[in-house]
Amino acid sequence: MATYSTSDFRKGLKVQIDGEPYLVIDSSFRKPGKGNAIYTLRMRNLVRGTILDRNYKGGESIEAADVEEIESQFLYRQGDNYVFMNTENYEQYELTAEQVGDDWRFLKDSTLCQMVLYENNPITITPPNHIVLKVEYCEPGAKGNTATNVTKPVKVETGAEIQCPAFVEIGELIRVDTRTGEYIERVKE
């Protein structure tokens, strides 16, 4: 099993702590000028999402997590679960609503997502940063109102509601930032 030593520590590593996979979200090196160094990792549990802070002394090492990232395509929803397919080998994976979290709002047919596998089981998906969605329903906006600071809820094809400027109409396509859930712009077909 691969290990990381304190000199390898950095943001982005995927490590195994007490039998669970973590993503290093912050790595810090602290040392009194004439004293012993402490390496601190802030990690997010890749399964449960909890945050863990750990200190290490110089030269300590930790196990790398058996984590793999693959490209997957969203196929369909099955009850509370979401079914994806590995685009390389067509293997299918099911994620629970809890694992998908708020990202269900951006899952339309064939959306390509990054999927993280831990010991070959899916644990998270990340949709592309920007995604184009079709507006299914909204209240009509006032004619000629091009102001972007007046917003209204708009229902898109995935069933999610996105706050959009008042000028957005039914049937139009909008680009959304999946990291913030915010409207970016209208898109021509």
Partner 1 sequence: MRWPNKAFASCDARLPMTNDGNHLQSGDCWQPTADLPYLQLRAALLRRTREFFFQRGFLEVETPLLSTDTVVDQYLEPIGSTILSAKQPQHLWLQTSPELAMKRMLAAGCGAIYQIARAFRDGEKGPLHNREFTMVEWYRPNDKMEDGIALLVEFTEALLETEAADCMSYRDAFMQHANVDPLTADTSRLAQVATAANVAIPSQFGDDRDHWLDLLMLELVMPHLGRKRPVIVYDYPASQAALAKIREDDPPVAERFELFYKGVELANGYHELLDAEELRARAITANEKRLAMGKSLLPVENRLIEAMRSGLPPCTGVALGFDRLLMLAAGADTLADVMAFYGDRA
CA gap 22, 26 in Å, rounded: 12
CA gap 14, 4 in Å, rounded: 10
| CB-CB contact of 93 with 75 (8 Å) | no
Residue labelled with tokens 């793999």:
68
Provide, rounded to whole angstroms, the least separation between the CB of residue 107 and partner 1: 22
Considering only residues 2 through 21, tell me which ones interact with partner 1, judged by CB under 8 A. Answer: 7, 10-13
Residue labelled with tokens 């009509």:
140
Piece in contact with partner 1 (CB under 8 A), picked from 26-34, 43-51, 154-162, 173-181: 26-34
Piece in contact with partner 1 (CB under 8 A), picked from 50-58, 133-141, 153-161, 171-179: 50-58
**Site mask, partner 1, residues 63-102, x = CB under 8 A?**
------x---------------------------------
Strand-pair category, 67-78 with 81-86: antiparallel
Closest CA to 151 of 135, 136, 162: 162
Does residue 128 belong to the site contacting partner 1 (CB under 8 A)?
no
Does residue 60 belong to the site contacting partner 1 (CB under 8 A)?
yes
Q: How far is CA 56 from CA 52, 110, 116, in A?
A: 13, 43, 26
Provide, rounded to whole angstroms, the least separation between the CB of residue 109 and partner 1: 26
**Site mask, partner 1, residues 95-114, x = CB under 8 A?**
--------------------
| Residues making contact with partner 1 (CB under 8 A) | 7, 10-13, 28-38, 40, 53-60, 69
